[in-house]
């Protein structure tokens, strides 16, 4: 059916033109209108319950009109009337992703960040939703925050991590203990210096958010070193755009192999988000597999890779601090590169207990606490 319906709505072959309150006229496809009718969503589960695959013919309207703040469409085959809020039409009149409250601008930080690092007490994040929202927000903008006043219990870590998502295991288990192990399976489990790295790049999806709860730190040495990989990568892009592109495009093999596991995955050193902004880095010399790319490609790749790795060590970027008992440092494992200086294992006790959650759940927590969901 072609023609003009009421209130200036123009019915076309596959969709309709509707005048909007901002003075523009926008086109909407009939499938889209039928599929996204408010009645297509179950009010309890909030899930879509309309079966667009069940349409035996393309949906066609018998009539359509603007009625107050709604576009009313009466469908030919079923007689169903869709009442679609004009506000929904305005939101989708131009192509583009649905606004995301968790899409906060990331803020690069440098060596002096320790004094400015977002800090929240364990008590606050546990009981105060505003503190929890601000903590999640800091994780999205800065990629790092410190939780203070942690209880000296095993449950303290998982309870804290559980506020930003479900604790996700790795091939080291649900949690891990960073202390001097008698038979270490990882450099972290020794007292040696631990060069700057992100964790577990040999996993297909390396963990997103890392929690390190300091239970004891009375040793000589063992300072933590943290770098904002995003700050380095954005500067690297300006300094050497071609090298930057190589690190964005090249898959690098990583491994982690011991008696009971043989993990392998490929990652890119610099990760971009859908807008082309740097969203993360992957660095781990001790888990980097022997490069298997064409040797000729390595003529350009190695110098770019090394230049980036050297830039990361520039004191301009390195935040060095001591993690104290009762603190839990929380950081984006895809963005924040971390390590520690060597310590004397016999000079005292050093024990960090760690676990991971994922980035998607962090954003979900932030949206719930800060956003206005479609069903609110
Ligand atoms: Fe680590």
What is the tens place of the pLDDT at every residue in 11-36? Answer: 999 999 999 999 999 999 999 999 99
* Per-residue pLDDT band at 2 (split at 50, 70, 90): low
Distance 63 CA to ligand 1 centre (A): 62
Distance 189 CA to ligand 1 centre (A): 10
HSE-up of 204 (CA within 13 Å, CB side)? 0
Distance 224 CA to ligand 1 centre (A): 11
Distance 212 CA to ligand 1 centre (A): 9
Question: Looking at the whole model, is its pTM more than 0.75?
Answer: yes
What percent of the chain lies above the pLDDT cut of 90? 86
Distance 209 CA to ligand 1 centre (A): 11
Within its chain, how far is the Cα of 175 from the centroid? 21
Distance, in Å, from the CA atom of 148 to the CA atom of 133, rounded to the nearest integer, reads 16
Task: Give the residue extent of every domain in the chain.
Answer: 3-92, 111-370
Distance 176 CA to ligand 1 centre (A): 11
Distance 196 CA to ligand 1 centre (A): 8
Distance 69 CA to ligand 1 centre (A): 54
Distance 269 CA to ligand 1 centre (A): 16
Average pLDDT over residues 30-46: 96
Q: For the packed helices 241-249 and 295-312, what is the interaxial angle rounded to 10 degrees? A: 110
Structure tokens at 296: 């000729």
Task: Give me the pLDDT at residue 345, please.
Answer: 84
Task: Give me the pLDDT at residue 6, please.
Answer: 67
Residues 281-320 have pLDDT tens digits of 999 999 999 999 999 999 999 999 999 999 999 999 999 9
Structure tokens at 229: 């990989």
Distance 261 CA to ligand 1 centre (A): 18
* Per-residue pLDDT band at 275 (split at 50, 70, 90): confident
Average pLDDT of the chain, as a whole number: 94
For the domain made up of 3-92, give the CATH fold.
NE0471 N-terminal domain-like (3.30.2020)
Distance, in Å, from the CA atom of 345 to the CA atom of 179, rounded to the nearest integer, reads 9
Residues 96-146 have pLDDT tens digits of 888 899 999 999 999 999 999 999 999 999 999 999 999 999 999 999 999
Distance, in Å, from the CA atom of 70 to the CA atom of 74, rounded to the nearest integer, reads 13
Q: Tell me: domain 111-370, CATH 3.60.130.10, correct?
A: yes
Beta strands in 312-375 (DSSP E): 318-321, 328-332, 336-340, 350-357
Average pLDDT over residues 244-272: 96
What percent of the chain lies above the pLDDT cut of 70? 97
Distance 197 CA to ligand 1 centre (A): 6
What is the sign, positive or negative, of the torsion defined by CA atoms of 227, 233, 235, 240? positive
Task: Give me the pLDDT at residue 344, please.
Answer: 87
Distance, in Å, from the CA atom of 215 to the CA atom of 227, rounded to the nearest integer, reads 23
pLDDT at 1 over 60: no
Average pLDDT over residues 1-9: 69
Helical (H) or strand (E) element with 236: helix 229-239
Task: Give me the pLDDT at residue 346, please.
Answer: 86
Distance 50 CA to ligand 1 centre (A): 46
Distance, in Å, from the CA atom of 40 to the CA atom of 47, rounded to the nearest integer, reads 8
Distance 338 CA to ligand 1 centre (A): 6
Distance 297 CA to ligand 1 centre (A): 29
Distance 188 CA to ligand 1 centre (A): 7
């Amino acid at each position: 059916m072609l023609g003009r319906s009421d209130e200036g709505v123009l019915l076309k072959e596959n969709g309709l033109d509707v005048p909007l309150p901002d003075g523009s006229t926008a086109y909407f496809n009939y499938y889209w209108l039928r599929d996204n009718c408010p009645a297509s969503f179950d009010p309890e589960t909030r899930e879509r319950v309309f079966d667009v695959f069940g349409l035996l013919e393309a949906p066609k309207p018998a009539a359509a009109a603007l009625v107050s703040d709604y576009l009313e469409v009466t469908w030919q085959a079923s007689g169903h009337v869709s009442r679609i809020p004009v506000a929904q039409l305005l939101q989708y009149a131009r192509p583009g992703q649905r606004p995301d409250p968790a899409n906060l601008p990331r803020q690069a930080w440098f060596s002096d960040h320790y004094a400015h690092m977002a800090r929240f007490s364990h008590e606050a994040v546990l009981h105060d939703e505003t503190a929890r929202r601000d903590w999640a927000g800091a994780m999205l903008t800065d990629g790092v925050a410190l939780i203070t006043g942690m209880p000296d219990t095993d449950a303290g870590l998982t309870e804290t991590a559980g506020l930003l998502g479900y604790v996700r295991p790795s091939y080291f288990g649900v949690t891990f203990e960073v202390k001097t192990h008698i038979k270490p399976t990882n450099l972290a489990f020794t007292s040696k210096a631990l060069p700057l790295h992100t964790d577990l790049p040999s996993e297909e999806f390396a963990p997103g958010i890392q929690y390190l709860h300091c239970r004891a730190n009375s040793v000589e040495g063992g300072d933590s070193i943290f770098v904002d990989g995003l700050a380095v990568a954005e500067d690297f892009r300006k300094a050497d755009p071609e090298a930057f592109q190589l690190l964005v495009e090249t898959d690098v093999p990583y491994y982690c192999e011991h008696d009971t596991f043989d993990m392998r995955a490929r990652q890119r050193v610099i990760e971009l988000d859908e807008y082309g902004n740097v969203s993360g880095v992957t660095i781990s010399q001790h888990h980097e597999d022997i490069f298997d790319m064409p040797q000729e490609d390595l003529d350009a790749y190695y110098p770019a890779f090394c230049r980036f790795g050297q830039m990361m060590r520039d004191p301009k970027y390195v935040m060095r601090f001591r993690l104290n008992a009762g603190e839990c440092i929380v950081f984006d494992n895809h963005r924040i590169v971390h390590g520690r200086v060597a310590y004397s294992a016999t000079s005292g006790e050093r024990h960090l207990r760690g676990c991971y959650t994922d980035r998607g759940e962090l954003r979900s927590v932030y949206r719930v606490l800060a956003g206005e969901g479609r069903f609110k």
